[in-house]
Amino acid sequence: MSSLSKINLEPVGFVKTEAVGKEVRDKNVVSRIVFREELSEALEGIQEFSHLFVLFWMQKIADKKKEIMKVHPRGRRDMPLLGIFATRTPHRPNPIGLTRVKLLKVEGNVVTVQGLDAFDGTPVLDIKPFDSWDTTEDFKVPEWWMKLEKERSKKRENSK
């Protein structure tokens, strides 16, 4: 086995949120990321950004779920059966979550964000600032994704 066959990560911090269950998916939810004290200095300058990417370990994913290789997007049987890497399912061999969040404030070793879809106690692996390099105008998505996005937009309009 090569030296890269195993990777050891240590969380940089942990999520603190009052959201439970499906509430964590609400993009209006405010959460705090409490970083390890010794990493406070590494946060210097982050407040200059409006948005961040948060990478976190989805620790609540059961080992059996990590063996799933194909899913229907969002669990919907009317969607095609696809390989997990073609979806945003949390059921993955390495359950790493990635979310773009709005940065609200930084106080010492605590970063307050909006839109983090992670549970209380979730280990945070890293954060990275979001900037213009992270956008593209010429992206492509499949038909099933467009259908889901239209449905989501319609729900948002109806809830207003």
Helix and strand numbers, DSSP H then E, in the chain: 1, 8
Q: What pLDDT, on a 0 to 100 scale, did the predictor assign at position 53?
A: 97
Q: Which of 129, 128, 106 is nearest to 33 (CA)?
A: 106
Is 84:132 a contact under the CB 8 Å cutoff?
no
User: Which residues have CB under 8 Å from 115's CB, separation 6+?
Assistant: 27, 28, 29, 99, 100, 101, 102
Q: What is the pLDDT of residue 62?
A: 80
For residues 79 and 70, is the Cβ–Cβ distance under 8 A? no
pTM, entire model: 0.86
Extract the tokens encoding 57: 């370990």
Residue 3: what pLDDT?
63
Give the DSSP H or E segment for 125.
strand 123-129
Contact 44, 27 (CB under 8 A): no
> What number of residues does the chain have?
160
pLDDT at position 137 is 84
Residue 2: DSSP 8-state: -
- Taking only the tens of pLDDT, the chain with its 160 residues reads 456 788 899 999 999 999 888 888 888 899 999 999 999 999 999 999 999 999 999 988 888 888 889 999 988 999 999 999 999 898 899 999 999 999 999 999 999 999 999 999 999 999 999 988 888 888 899 999 999 889 888 877 787 7
DSSP alpha helices (H): ranges in 2-142?
A: none
Instruction: State the Cα–Cα distance between residues 152 and 156, nearest whole angstrom.
Output: 6
